[in-house]
Amino acid sequence: MKIPALLFLTASFVHLIIPPAFSQQITKPEDTEVWDPEPPEVAPGDYTTASAPSDAIILFDGSGLSAWQKPQFKAESATVEIISYTVKGIEPDYEHKPADWDVIDGEMVIKQLTGAIETKQAFGDMQLHIEWMTPYAEGKKGQGYSNSGIFLMNFYEIQVLNSYENRTYSNGQAGSIYKQHIPLVNACRKPGDWQVYDIIFKAPVFDEEGSLKSPARITAFHNGVLIHNNVKLKGPTVYIGTPKYVAHPAKLPLRLQDHGDPVRYRNIWVREL
């Protein structure tokens, strides 16, 4: 079904365009791709999993998707709609539906082209442990090779992608804070191998007028290797244009992106900070 897939992917990109009111300048997607420097490759050690500590909130242990649901927006039409709700106070006209991705052998598998899923619980500052696997896919390349993403607070994406012998723009490869920060190194394992992100996220803070008091910050490890060291985020993830903060609640769901590829997740837990 090539045409629906194309339409979906187009829509999934369009949703990341911030409307003029929230963007300093609308440009082409290529304008915000940064190809240099290319992060040096680092072969990670054997760290592939970590059982949850006693104070963690378990988001996925292989037994089902009870902690997850479909977001209150259509498919992948996320950022613009969420900003509309947040800024204009418009209530979404969608009911939450149960998460419909597959669980196979204790692994969460993206049901391609059905849209994202998000946690029922909202989070602000957190320590997140999440394991993911990009399947081998003959002939795929660049951003099209097993793309997904972890959206902290629904707005801030850490890229999930196969970046093992698969060059793309550095600020869009695995471990990038999409189009904002290049990972310090490329610690990717090959397709089919399980990988780990450990992320420490500090939520942005807004004053009562909605002005930014302090930006979001991220420290992250990929397979146990530091890839971001307390970096400041510029605003919500956008595909085209310049990120700009919009005031939002202190806690929002964690969202996993469906970019049309059967990426897998397992062993997801959070410690609230």
Nearer to Mg ion, 33 or 61 (CB): 33
DSSP string, 226-272: EEEEEEEP-SS--SBS--------S-EEEEE---SS--EEEEEEEEE
Rounded least distance, CB 161 to Mg ion, Å: 6
Nearest-CA neighbor of 38 among 165, 210, 213? 165
Token representation of residue 25: 């300048």
Cβ–Cβ < 8 Å for 130, 197: yes
The binding site for Mg ion (CB under 5 A) comprises 147, 149
DSSP string, 92-139: PS---EE---EEETTEEE--TTS--EEEEEEESSEEEEEEEE----TT
Report which residue's Cβ sits closest to Mg ion. Answer: 149
Rounded least distance, CB 237 to Mg ion, Å: 9
Rounded least distance, CB 159 to Mg ion, Å: 5
Rounded least distance, CB 1 to Mg ion, Å: 21
Nearer to Mg ion, 140 or 271 (CB): 140
In this structure, what DSSP letter does residue 190 have? P
Nearer to Mg ion, 86 or 147 (CB): 147
Nearer to Mg ion, 39 or 175 (CB): 175
Q: In a 3-state reduction of DSSP, which class is residue 6? A: helix
Nearer to Mg ion, 149 or 175 (CB): 149
Distance CA 271, CA 121 (A): 12
Rounded least distance, CB 160 to Mg ion, Å: 6
Rounded least distance, CB 144 to Mg ion, Å: 11
Nearer to Mg ion, 50 or 191 (CB): 191
Token representation of residue 62: 């292989």
Rounded least distance, CB 254 to Mg ion, Å: 14
Nearer to Mg ion, 160 or 184 (CB): 160
Rounded least distance, CB 178 to Mg ion, Å: 6
Token representation of residue 237: 């993830």
| Cβ neighbours of 200 (radius 10 Å) | 17
Nearer to Mg ion, 149 or 183 (CB): 149
Q: Which residues contact 22 (CB under 8 A, 6 or more apart)?
A: 83, 87, 244, 246
Q: Is the dihedral of CA 79, 159, 244, 204 positive or negative?
A: positive
